[in-house]
Structure 1
């Protein structure tokens, strides 16, 4: 029996305009299926982005540092398998435009 799994997207923010970065991350996260994950690569510590996740999606994501600078920061952001839709109503952070 073979199982087909969707590859985890990698979002490399180093080449993205700063004003478009957070919206791209949130839209990519929103598109993940429950149990899915994405890898984020950045040229600085993404702590402000983590704060946005915590304020808008508290408990609906897992944040795992993979590399902590000084040249690049890499983070795995995962959507728990039992997660419910995180956008709409009062749970939306507003960053993704959704």
Structure 2
């Protein structure tokens, strides 16, 4: 179960990644950040995979909950 959930659908795009990085950094080891987005966050996944050592890419998950709602889980090692 994610420790923190961010619903980003009403957040301006330029503010999303900094907000996500900040929330992820605040997590402890073994915790996860859940984000709710209006599109599949593939660019974010690749960014985290390349730049964030504590990101557990193997256990990343993203599901389309409904049109315009994607829920992604970003686990931290």
Unpaired segments of 5 or more residues in structure 2? none
Is 1:22 matched with 2:17?
yes
Unpaired segments of 5 or more residues in structure 1? 1-6, 81-98
Please name the residue that 1:43 is paired with: 38
Partner-residue secondary structure (3-state), 1:14:
coil
Q: Output the TM-score relative to the length of structure 2.
A: 0.82
Q: How many residues align?
A: 73
Please name the residue that 1:84 is paired with: none
Distance 2:68 2:11 in 1: 16
**Structure 1 segments of 4+ aligned residues over 3 angstroms from their partners:** none
Show CA shifts across 1:3-35 (max 9, x none): xxxx71111110111100000001100000001
Structure richer in strand, relative to its length: 2
Aligned partners of 2:60 and 2:73 also within 8 Å: yes
Bigger-Rg structure (1/2): 1
Q: Output the TM-score relative to the length of structure 1.
A: 0.66
Distance 1:10 1:35 in 2: 15
